[in-house]
Amino acid sequence: MELRRRINAALKQAMKDKEGERLATLRLINAAIKDREIALRGEEGEQTVGDAEVLEILSKMVKQRNESVRAYEEGGRLDLAQAEQDEIAVIEEFLPRKLSDAEVEKAIDAAVADVGADSIRDMGKVMGVLKSKYTGQMDFGSAAAKIKARLG
C-alpha cells in the first residue's frame, strides 16, 4: 500500500502545482489500479491491490508505452512519441531501479540454483522466482530468452 500512498501524494502535488500532463498520467495509473481492484472483487470478494500488483501494473504500462513510442517513431509522429516518453518518465518514478545486465545474470543464476533447474521444463519455475523478487526491476522478455539459452 506504500506505493498507492506515494502515487496519491504525487497526484495531489501535481494538482497543487498545476502540472497537467503529470496529473493526467497519475490519474491513468490510479485508474489502472482501480480497474484491477474491481476485477479482483469479482473473482475473490473484497480485495485490495498490494504493492507487488501495483508494480506489475506499472511495468505493464511502461511496456505498452514503449510499444507506442516505437509505433509513433516508425510512423513519423515524433510529437506523440515524445508524449509517450514523458508518460514513461512519470510512471518510472514509482518503479524500483532497473537491474544492470550483470545483476540480471546474477539473479538468473540464483533463481536457477534455488529451483534446481536443469532443463527447459523448469523455465516456468525460474520465471516465477524472478517475478516474485524482481517485478519492475528487469525485462522478463529478455530474461526469458537468457534462461532459455541457459537451460535449452
What is the three-state SS of the chain? CHHHHHHHHHHHHHHHHCCHHHHHHHHHHHHHHHHHHHHHHHHHCCCCCCHHHHHHHHHHHHHHHHHHHHHHHHCCCHHHHHHHHHHHHHHHCCCCCCCCHHHHHHHHHHHHHHHCCCCHHHHHHHHHHHHHHHCCCCCHHHHHHHHHHHHC
CB 49 within 8 A of CB 37: yes
Residue-range domains of the chain with CATH = 2-92 (1.10.1510.10), 101-151 (1.10.10.410)
CB atoms within 10 A of CB 70: 12
Sequential pLDDT tens for the chain (152 residues):
789 999 999 999 999 999 999 999 999 999 999 999 888 887 666 677 888 889 889 989 999 999 999 999 999 999 999 999 999 999 999 988 888 889 999 999 999 898 888 888 988 999 999 988 887 788 888 888 899 888 87
The pTM of this model reads 0.75
**pLDDT per position as a tens digit, 103-139:** 999 999 999 898 888 888 988 999 999 988 887 788 8
- Specify the pLDDT at position 7: 95
- End-to-end alpha-carbon separation of the chain, Å? 39
Candidates 132, 142, 81; CA nearest to 110 is 132
Average model confidence (pLDDT) across the chain: 90
